[in-house]
Amino acid sequence: MERILTGLLIDRTRAMAIAEKTTAGSMIPDAGSALVYHYTRPALRDLTFIFILDDRYYYLQALIKQSGMIMKRLFLSMTFCLSLALSYTYAQQPPKQIREGSHNFTLQWISWDKPGKVDIKKQADGTYTVKGEQRGDNGDFVTIDGTLKMVTYSELIFNGKIQTKYSNVNNGEVCDKTGTYHFLAKGARKYWRLQEMDNCEGNNVVDYVDIYFN
């Protein structure tokens, strides 16, 4: 059996170029993990692994001269070992932090195309202050003022005040939310959305209050 292994960290452009050359496998997503592979000659299988962890692309190429059940077992063993290695690498990386500075901020009733802004600053205790607004026509607005505590990069706990006002919702009156609330970034979304989204009007009317990564 002949086996040659090479591994390196690559960028997304390189990862896409590798994926496009394969004859079978899966597309490269923005997050998670992916495996792409292709075959060269019947007696020689060229397996190309691409794993994505926290926006880092790890590339491993394995040339394995073998066939049958041994090949299948080796393939599974390599995949398992590589997953463990990358999981260890990922575990050693410091947790991703919220970027300080100005972030886009929206309420769907006002506009997603013309976002407002919030300013986020990290404090000595590890929490973040967040304050800002989005303004629309007819006196419509959403404001936020308080602190954020990061549970994970995708889950934030907010303590403070959020106010929304839209002329066609809640009789045009201000909906005030003061207390502790939660923001989540789900899947591939590039923003944290307020999870306690029911508007004061009731009747299943909801407010999508979003703080964007950028």
Question: What residues make up the domain containing 125?
Answer: 101-212
Same domain, 119 and 158: yes
Does the predicted model carry a pTM greater than 0.75?
no
- Report the candidate in 148, 151, 144 with the shortest Cα–Cα distance to residue 175: 144
Same domain, 44 and 121: no
Rg (CA), the chain: 24
pLDDT in tens, the chain (214 residues): 333 334 455 555 665 555 555 444 444 444 334 444 444 444 444 555 544 444 454 445 444 444 455 555 555 555 555 555 555 554 556 778 999 999 999 999 999 999 999 999 999 999 999 999 999 988 999 999 999 999 999 999 999 999 999 999 999 999 999 999 999 999 999 999 999 999 999 989 999 999 999 9
Same domain, 207 and 122: yes
Same domain, 172 and 118: yes
**Alpha-carbon span 31 to 29, nearest angstrom:** 5
Same domain, 107 and 205: yes
- Report the candidate in 164, 81, 156 with the shortest Cα–Cα distance to residue 116: 164
Same domain, 17 and 62: yes
**Alpha-carbon span 180 to 196, nearest angstrom:** 10
156 is written with which tokens? 């934030």
